């Protein structure tokens, strides 16, 4: 007799995942949540207090081939946090605070333990960002994914008042670029990084290399979660006077080279001085080991800068002091806006 389970889909395992996820998700619920996990759709009632013209902001993303490192190490509790933080940053750069999050986990053969670890990371990320894990989907697709592998995607919805949208329109020549340190590779450049680390350098996830932090392995470095900038940058765009922050850039795929020009008005260019900050050891190791050109490094990786704030010179010290938090790496002025073709140039500023 042929049934669904013999074809590779275990409904009982799926039900066990839902049971575990329900408890994790409930720990992220905010006052706006009106439904429970397991409903066909998630219900959310936003608080529109103090929003004269509410605007919703939505984004979707994945973790990419960083998942391959999770498979190699057997550690699945960090990639969910990566996913949430990446999505939070993507709507933060337009001035939005997150409301709720949905996740999608697809795998060949469902392991309730692995799924629970992944969603634990998602729930941790949501809780850290005061964002409700409103629902999601777990798909078991035998023959589509290799055993032990899965894919992960996330969808976020946030809100802001229309008067506080950050869109770069007010950027002018002379405005300064303030860089905020990243926590490592974040979620971009892993196809190149994995090739260099595991194939060219011949390392394993448990390897250590001279120059690395004491007690930290290659796997630890590569799985270091994507940093959320909400707690640092949110107060700058959500309160006080509008216009202090003229633009925000999340440094994701394409690095500084491709992402900074995305917020520049027509007729504006930008210059970044790559000597204005200390490039972290990991990026230096990847460039040296893989013989990667400067151009490719800056188009592939964040090079130690995870977000850029654009502001007028008169506001830069105020912005930097408000970005400073005890124990946090300091922001640094990395460049300026100039007139010219909409692109980024690297030069001493």
| pLDDT band, residue 7 (cuts 50/70/90) | very low
Which of 54-69 are b and which e, b meaning 16 or more Cβ less than 10 Å from the residue's Cβ? ebebebebbbbbbbbb
Looking at the chain, the number of H-run helices and the number of E-run strands are 11, 10
| Residues 196/221, Cβ–Cβ less than 8 Å | no
Which pLDDT value is given to residue 342?
A: 94
Comparing 20-34, 79-93, 149-163, the range with the smallest average pLDDT is: 20-34
Q: Report the alpha-carbon distance of residue 297 to residue 299 in Å, rounded.
A: 6
Q: Model's pTM, two decimal places?
A: 0.93
Question: For residue 28, which of 114, 185, 111, 135 has the smallest C-alpha distance?
Answer: 135
Question: For residue 243, which of 328, 129, 165 has the smallest C-alpha distance?
Answer: 165
Helix axes 79-92, 230-238, angle to 10 degrees: 20
| Residues 113/138, Cβ–Cβ less than 8 Å | no
Average pLDDT over residues 126-154: 94
Kindly list the structural domains of the chain, giving each domain's residue range(s) and its CATH number in brackets, ordered by start. 11-164 (3.30.1330.10), 176-346 (3.90.650.10)
Would you say how long the chain is, in residues?
Answer: 349
Cα dist from 163 to 100, 258, 309, whole Å? 22, 27, 19
Q: Report the alpha-carbon distance of residue 236 to residue 217 in Å, rounded.
A: 36
Average pLDDT over residues 141-159: 94
If you average pLDDT over every residue of the chain, what do you get?
Answer: 93
Place of tokens 């049934």: 3
Question: Which alpha helices (H) appear in 98-170, and where do they start and end?
Answer: 112-128
Question: pLDDT tens digit string along 182-241?
Answer: 999 999 999 999 999 999 999 999 999 999 989 999 999 999 999 999 999 999 987 656
| pLDDT band, residue 325 (cuts 50/70/90) | confident
């Amino acid at each position: 007799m042929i049934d669904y389970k013999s074809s590779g889909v275990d409904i009982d395992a799926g039900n066990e995942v839902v049971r575990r996820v329900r408890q994790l998700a409930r720990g992220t619920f905010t006052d706006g949540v009106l439904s429970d996990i397991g409903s066909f759709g998630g219900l959310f009632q936003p608080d529109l207090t103090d929003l004269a013209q509410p605007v919703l902001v939505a984004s979707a993303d994945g973790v990419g081939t960083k998942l391959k490192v999770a498979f190699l190490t057997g550690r699945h509790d960090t990639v969910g946090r990566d996913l949430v933080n990446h999505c939070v940053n993507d709507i933060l750069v337009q001035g939005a605070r997150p409301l709720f999050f949905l996740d999608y986990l697809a795998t060949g053969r469902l392991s309730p333990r692995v799924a629970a670890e992944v969603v634990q990371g998602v729930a941790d990320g949501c809780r850290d960002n005061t964002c409700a894990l409103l629902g999601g989907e777990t798909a078991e697709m035998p023959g589509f994914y290799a055993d032990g592998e899965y894919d992960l995607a996330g969808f976020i919805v946030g809100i802001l008042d229309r008067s506080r949208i950050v869109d770069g329109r007010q950027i002018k020549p002379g405005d300064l670029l303030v860089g905020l340190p990243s926590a490592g590779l974040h979620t971009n450049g892993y196809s190149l990084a994995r090739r260099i680390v595991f194939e060219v350098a011949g390392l394993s996830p448990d390897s250590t290399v001279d120059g690395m932090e004491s007690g930290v392995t290659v796997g630890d470095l590569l799985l270091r979660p994507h940093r959320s900038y909400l707690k640092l940058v949110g107060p700058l765009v959500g309160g006080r006077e509008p216009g202090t922050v003229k633009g925000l850039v999340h440094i994701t795929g394409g690095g500084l080279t491709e992402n900074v020009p995305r917020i520049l008005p027509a007729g504006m260019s930008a210059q970044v001085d790559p000597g204005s900050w200390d490039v972290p050891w990991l990026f230096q190791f990847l460039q040296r080991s893989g013989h990667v050109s400067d151009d490719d490094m800056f188009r592939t990786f964040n090079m130690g800068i995870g977000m850029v704030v654009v502001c007028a010179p008169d506001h830069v010290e105020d912005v930097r002091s408000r970005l400073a938090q005890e124990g946090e790496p300091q922001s640094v002025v990395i460049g300026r806006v100039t007139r010219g073709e909409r692109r980024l140039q690297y030069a001493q500023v």
